[in-house]
Amino acid sequence: MGFAVFPCFHQSSRSSVVKLIFWEGTTSILTGSNKHIAGEIMFQNPDKMVCHADSFFIGHPVPSLAIDDELMPGQTYFVLPLDRFACNVLSASSLAAFSSSPKRTPINFGDSPFRYIKGAEGRVLIKVVPEFITRLINRGGDQDQTGSTSPGNSFLCSTPELKKHYEQLVGSKEQTWSPKLETISEYKI
């Protein structure tokens, strides 16, 4: 008369997939029961590195995986270009480099992009939320609904009046500026 426990549910297929988010904003799902290693992705993308999405901490090394590291089912990974990182330590400026958009617009922090976590030694760690990095990466594919290419049309200038004032103050990029300086002539004494 032993007791046996039978599972009442099957494991969801979501936990058996590996999600890859590429720097260009594309997403890939790896399925199957065989193991996937980071080297497979790096071989297909030689100028990129694979990073676990849940391991980004400000002031710590960028969490790139080694070639023989196994990708864990149910986890998300970023595939990021190597040349986007000037140094090995993650900082606010290296986070700004995550944006795949060629035009530089202010970052909308909306929800808090950071979580404060107590580390193993009791020190406070600043964790970057994976959703925030995903928004930074995907921001390059977003188009402005008004059709304007001005950075003033971002969340900073939310009303037509603010956009008008922004254009007056900043001006367009096509308009070149040069100072009106008179030539200084030198005389020998």
- Number of helical H runs and strand E runs in the chain: 4, 8
Range of the domain at 28: 13-141
Domain assignment present for 45: yes
CATH number of the domain to which 106 belongs: 3.10.20.30
Question: Which residue type, as a one-letter code, is found at position 152?
Answer: G
Asked if 78 and 137 count as a contact pair (C-beta separation under 8 A), the reply is yes
3-class SS of residue 49: strand
Question: Whole-model pTM?
Answer: 0.62
What is the C-alpha separation between 136 and 100, in angstroms, rounded? 7
14-37 pLDDT, tens digit per residue, is 567 899 999 888 898 988 778 889
For the record, the structure tokens of 83 come out as 């040349």
- pLDDT class for 142, splitting at 50, 70, 90? very low
Residue 150 lies in a domain: no
pLDDT at residue 149 above 80? no
- Domain count along the chain: 1
